[in-house]
Amino acid sequence: MNPYNHPITLQDVARAAGKSAATVSRALRNHPAISAATRHRIQRIASQMGYHPHPMLSVLMTRLRHRHPAYQETIACLCSARGLGPVRAMIDEFLIGANDEARRLGYSIDVYWMDTPDFSAKAMLHAWRAHRVRGAFLWNVRPDAPLDLPWDEFAWVVSGGITHAPDFHRVSNEIFQIVKLAIKESLKRGYRRPGLAMSTSGGERVGFRWVGAFLANVMRYGISLDMDSVFQGELTRKNFIAWQERFQADVILSLDDMPKQWIQDMGQDVPSQTGFLHLAANLSEIGAAGVAQDFREGGRAIIRALDGELRRNDFGIPSTPLTITVPGSWKEGATVRPPPCAAVPRRRTAMESIGREPRRAGT
């Protein structure tokens, strides 16, 4: 019951707790500079008093903090960096975006690489607690590494193919939009029989969302549905050629550059006979046409999502995991036919521009 004749304010909680308003504000935001015991005590007092922050004031304070952000705290990143070339380029782009957004909001990021010889989850957690880390994001954690972490202790956001973690809030590329754009552009260029070449293990890591998006968009554009249009198994030269000889796709969609070479090994010309579209074309090492995924924006989005969780004091496994998706954009390349040239509109004459018919000869 509220004994006051006005809504409970931060100053009321501060007087009841015997602390300054600044300390109470930090405690209610779970700021690591305040000890856990003091945070819990102040939060309990605020709850008993029925204190609720004013929503408009909270928005104003957030804007003021972001206008001249000072260092707030450290965010941890746990990721896998298996492979070089395109995989490492993807990670680098992601971390550039994440670091840019973290600096803008006043955070720093500590990155922990799972596939280094000296990686230890126990040592990592010790460092997190020593640095008062409250939030972390998991990115592209390898599927053969079961994770046993204190999920309830931290705020989490995940991205990439992760199969050994609970369902957390997620940032993902907009797979349906990426495949839709790829099929739309292939139809524009005269291709009529698309095929999806992706290893089954790779599709499983992301819950077969690529396969689902491909089949849904095939139906959406009125293309005859054939389940054999989706490659199944491990994506090797032998398996791909056997599948292509059977299905005879006239345009291949893939996340790997190699199918383009295998198409040519079969004696099919790229792009006149068979087109090739890369579904992460900005990572293609052969300059393939396709859809470029915005990994930097994905990095920025994951920091914004984690920042929101920290400000709301949301820790542990969410009851309703949400997904933020980042769309891709078309990238031209020499592995597909050029789009048909648009007709050049006839320029209007001066007489037509003012609404008068031009005089015909002999009148």
Tell me, what's the pLDDT at 360?
A: 56
Strand order of the sheet with strand 329-331?
A: 194-197, 251-254, 275-278, 290-292, 329-331
**Is the model's pLDDT at 207 over the cut of 90?**
no
Is 10 part of a structural domain of the chain?
A: no
pTM of the model: 0.76
Is 267 part of a structural domain of the chain?
A: yes
Tell me, what's the pLDDT at 59?
A: 46
| Range(s) of the domain holding residue 218 | 175-293
Q: What is the mean pLDDT of the chain?
A: 85
Is 106 part of a structural domain of the chain?
A: no
Summarize the confidence of residues 10-25 as an average pLDDT. Answer: 84
Tell me, what's the pLDDT at 343?
A: 47
Tell me, what's the pLDDT at 20?
A: 85
Tell me, what's the pLDDT at 89?
A: 82
**Is the model's pLDDT at 352 over the cut of 50?**
yes
Q: How many domains does the chain have?
A: 1
For residues 340 and 251, the model is more confident at 251
Please, which residues have CB within 8 angstroms of residue 260's CB and are 6 or more apart in sequence? 252, 270, 276, 286, 288, 335
* CATH number (domain holding residue 264): 3.40.50.2300
Give 256-298 pLDDT, tens digit per residue. 999 999 999 999 999 999 999 999 999 999 999 999 999 999 9
Q: Percent of the chain, pLDDT > 90? A: 55
**CA-CA distance, 195 to 205, in Å (whole number)?**
20
Is 6 part of a structural domain of the chain?
A: no
Please, which residues have CB within 8 angstroms of residue 120's CB and are 6 or more apart in sequence? none
Is 240 part of a structural domain of the chain?
A: yes
Is 245 part of a structural domain of the chain?
A: yes
Is 100 part of a structural domain of the chain?
A: no
Is 188 part of a structural domain of the chain?
A: yes
